[in-house]
Amino acid sequence: MAESKRDYYEVLGVGKDADDAALKKAYRQIAKKYHPDMNPGDAEAEKKFKEASEAYAVLSDPEKRRQYDQFGHAAFEGGAGGAGGFGGFDFSGADFSDIFGDIFGDLFGGGGRRGGRSQGPMKGMNVRKSVRITFEEAVFGCEKELDVVLKDSCPKCNGTGAKPGTSPETCPKCGGKGQVVYTQQSFFGTVQNVQTCPQCGGTGKIVREKCSDCQGTGYVSNRKKIAVTVPAGIDNGQSIRIREKGEPGANGGPRGDLLVEVSVSRHPIFQRQDMHIFSTVPISFAQAALGADVKIKTVDGEVLYTVKPGTKTDTKVRLKGKGVPSVRNSQVRGDHYVTLVIQTPERLSAEAKEALKRFDELSGNTLNAAGTGSAGNSGSGKKRKGFMNKMKEAFDE
């Protein structure tokens, strides 16, 4: 606890009033500079990267930012801030990717980063796939199997790309470094530009006789089935990171990751916003007036709800804990909000019409002789605000 933490705004180098775009821009710059993939083995860079990632995770979330602005770091320590305390930051697994997935997509998804390949171990490129799931699968989580074509090191040449019996030669242009340095004189003094070696394409090696199985690339493609555990509470557009199921690394580096973007199908009656579910339930006028037990569909099945006598149309009902689980803690669930809407009957039997007329008379309204249902009252209409007017008001709101 004693360890002092830097202010999140200071970490990102932004003002307290920075908007989302400014935060993202600031974080992106820091992430680019200090990302562990760019600074292998550099503990200081990793620390800076994590610090910035943590700051961004908090400040980019309006709720967490509000808590942080109010309580500072204390908001996320030992659950002091209540509301599902943020706790320790986990930089592995789905947790990480659904916060940062979009940024890493921008940073590394383009495939350009292999340009500066060096002799050191390099992590392979990430592979992106998408999976479509149902509304319920998103709420409760599911297991999916994905067909993914992945590159593997060619077994015939052991990934060298050279015909068996031969071996790749060190590139003469870059001396095996994969990069060439150009020194230029400029207005600012001597500038060094590092570029990918044009002769070997950054591999540092030249293959004279190519392996016939992989045409000298060192890789072969294999179709694989990969099991994906979709966590309960995942939302449309979020990604799941599956470690080391991407493309092979170079020089003994680990494979890249598989990033699975989840798209959630629309549900015919439920809508979702974050952890809450919304739906509309029709009730009859009689149920609304007299009160009734009605069945309400939720993701947990039907729930019996007691409509109070005299319920108005558009009454909102909260079914606590019937919403979506938190993707970080499935014990925490949102709520299901139901709007009760009174249905005006359209097709009535003669008997039902009679009953309704009789009801209207008892309510102090007088329908005109033709029974057209016109809202215009005659006679006693001025004395009391009639049922028809009340109904009309209820629907005009």
**According to CB under 5 A, which one of 122, 200, 277, 338 is a site residue for Zn ion?**
200
- Of 206 and 289, nearer to Zn ion (C-beta) is 206
CB of 211 to Zn ion, least distance (A): 3
CB of 41 to Zn ion, least distance (A): 23
Check residue 196 for interaction with Zn ion (CB under 5 A): no
* 103 Cβ contact list (under 8 Å, min separation 6): 24, 27, 28, 31
Within residues 135-164, the interface with Zn ion by CB under 5 A covers 154, 156-157
Check residue 211 for interaction with Zn ion (CB under 5 A): yes
Binding segment toward Zn ion, per CB under 5 A, in 114-122, 173-181, 261-269, 277-285 = 173-181
- Of 95 and 213, nearer to Zn ion (C-beta) is 213
**According to CB under 5 A, which one of 58, 197, 234, 250 is a site residue for Zn ion?**
197
Interface with Zn ion: number of residues (CB under 5 A): 12
- Of 151 and 272, nearer to Zn ion (C-beta) is 151
| Residues 276, 277, 283, 288, Cα dihedral to 10° | 0
Check residue 127 for interaction with Zn ion (CB under 5 A): no
CB of 223 to Zn ion, least distance (A): 18
β-strand partners of 293: 306
- Of 16 and 173, nearer to Zn ion (C-beta) is 173
Check residue 214 for interaction with Zn ion (CB under 5 A): yes
- Of 159 and 325, nearer to Zn ion (C-beta) is 159
- Of 156 and 208, nearer to Zn ion (C-beta) is 156
CB of 272 to Zn ion, least distance (A): 48
In whole angstroms, give the CA distance from residue 340 to residue 136. Answer: 23
Binding segment toward Zn ion, per CB under 5 A, in 209-217, 222-230, 234-242, 261-269 = 209-217
* 304 Cβ contact list (under 8 Å, min separation 6): 293, 294, 295, 296
Pairing assessment for the beta strands 271-273 and 276-284 based on DSSP bridges = antiparallel
Q: Give the dihedral sign, CA 366/368/372/375.
A: negative
CB of 120 to Zn ion, least distance (A): 15
In whole angstroms, give the CA distance from residue 57 to residue 67. Answer: 13
* 267 Cβ contact list (under 8 Å, min separation 6): 134, 135, 136
Check residue 213 for interaction with Zn ion (CB under 5 A): yes
- Helix, strand, coil fractions of the chain, as percent rounded to 5: 30, 25, 45
Q: Give the dihedral sign, CA 62/66/68/74.
A: negative
CB of 112 to Zn ion, least distance (A): 18
In whole angstroms, give the CA distance from residue 119 to residue 322. Answer: 54
The letter for the amino acid at 208 is R
* 323 Cβ contact list (under 8 Å, min separation 6): 275, 276, 277, 333, 334, 335, 336
CB of 167 to Zn ion, least distance (A): 12
Check residue 295 for interaction with Zn ion (CB under 5 A): no
Which residues make up the interface to Zn ion (CB under 5 A)? Answer: 154, 156-157, 171, 173-174, 197, 199-200, 211, 213-214
